[in-house]
Amino acid sequence: MKRRDLLKTGGAAVALSGGFGTFVQAQETTIEIPDMVLGDENAPIEMIEYASFTCPHCASFHANVYPQLKADYIDTGKVKFIYREVYFDRFGLWASMIARCAGEDRFFAVSNLVYEKQREWTASGDPAIVIEELRKLAKTVGLNDETLDACMSDADQAQALVGWYQANAERDGINSTPSFLINGESHGNMTYENFKTILDEKLG
């Protein structure tokens, strides 16, 4: 899925290199955007996925390839998996804000639901309905209205996320989703068998 338009927000966003994530200057407030990580921090392979919550190919990857990768490589300590959001539209940004609102410990639980129910929450194309459907998903993992209201009204966080995405995309040459960096090498979407071949070769 190739899309060349970056999601824009008002004001300048300046990315600064950070340790675990990236720091972005948004409206004179420095906000840390952490990477969302699964697996052993010291695993021999680092795999970064760039994906959009509104991308059907990303939903397909998470339904058909990711579970086996997680079982065979992430959960076994062979791969450190980093998920980084791509924002091609406001619905994808909203989904990201809600998933991150759940915190690092529940981010992937919300993400899995967002991908699993992608056709349902994006179906109407109506912003009010999309937001309400995303909120319903978040509530199934324990988020309440007060927490969601605070997260979704945080304009500085939204701008920081877009700046973070733009900095990542420019640095790593991301123009399609899903895209992957495996120990720094760029790869497109592929079958589990092809991922396995690459990962096993790197594992020796």
177 part of a folded domain: yes
The number of domains in the chain is 1
Distance CA 67, CA 192 (A): 10
C-alpha atoms less than 13 angstroms from C-alpha of 36 in its C-beta half-sphere = 21
Instruction: Reduce the DSSP state of residue 106 to 3 states and report it.
Output: coil
pTM score: 0.86
C-alpha atoms less than 13 angstroms from C-alpha of 82 in its C-beta half-sphere = 20
88 part of a folded domain: yes
How confident is the prediction along the chain (204 residues), in pLDDT tens digits per residue?
A: 433 344 443 333 323 223 334 444 444 567 889 999 999 999 999 999 999 999 999 999 999 999 999 999 999 999 999 999 999 999 999 999 999 999 999 999 999 999 999 999 999 999 999 999 999 999 999 999 999 999 999 999 999 999 999 999 999 999 999 999 999 999 999 999 999 999 999 999
103 part of a folded domain: yes
Nearest Cα neighbor of 163 from 54, 16, 50, 4 is 16
**Which range of residues forms the domain containing residue 147?**
14-203
Distances (CA, A) of 186 to 41, 48, 92: 20, 9, 23
Distance CA 121, CA 104 (A): 22
123 part of a folded domain: yes
